[in-house]
Amino acid sequence: MATWDDVRRLALALPETSESVSYGAPAWKVRNKGFVWDRPLRKADHDQLGAAAPDGPVLGVQVADEGVKAALIADDPDVFFTIPHFDGYPAVLVRLDRIGVEELAEVVTEAWLLRAPKRVAKAFLDAHG
> What CATH number should be reported for the domain holding residue 52?
3.90.1150.30
Average pLDDT over residues 46-66: 94
pLDDT at 129: 74
Q: Is residue 46 part of a domain?
A: yes
Which pLDDT score is estimated for 62?
98
Residue 22 lies in a domain: yes
pLDDT attached to residue 66: 96
Which residues, in sequence order, are CB contacts of 115 under 8 Å at separation 6+? 29, 30, 31, 33, 34, 35, 62
In a domain, 30, yes or no: yes
Facing residues of 81 across strands? 93
pTM of the shown model: 0.94
On average, the pLDDT of the chain sits at 96
| pLDDT at residue 5 in the model | 98
Mean pLDDT for 10-39 is 97
Kindly state whether residue 49 falls inside one of the protein's structural domains. yes
Supply the range of the domain harboring residue 117: 4-121
| 128 occurs within a structural domain | no
Q: Is residue 129 part of a domain?
A: no
Is the pLDDT reported for residue 11 higher than 90? yes
Do residues 98 and 6 lie in contact, with contact meaning Cβ atoms separated by under 8 Å? no
Q: Does residue 127 form part of some domain?
A: no
* Number of domains the chain is built from: 1
User: Tens of pLDDT along 76-117?
Assistant: 999 999 999 999 999 999 999 999 999 999 999 999 999 999
- pLDDT for 72 beyond 80: yes
Is residue 60 one of the residues assigned to a domain?
yes
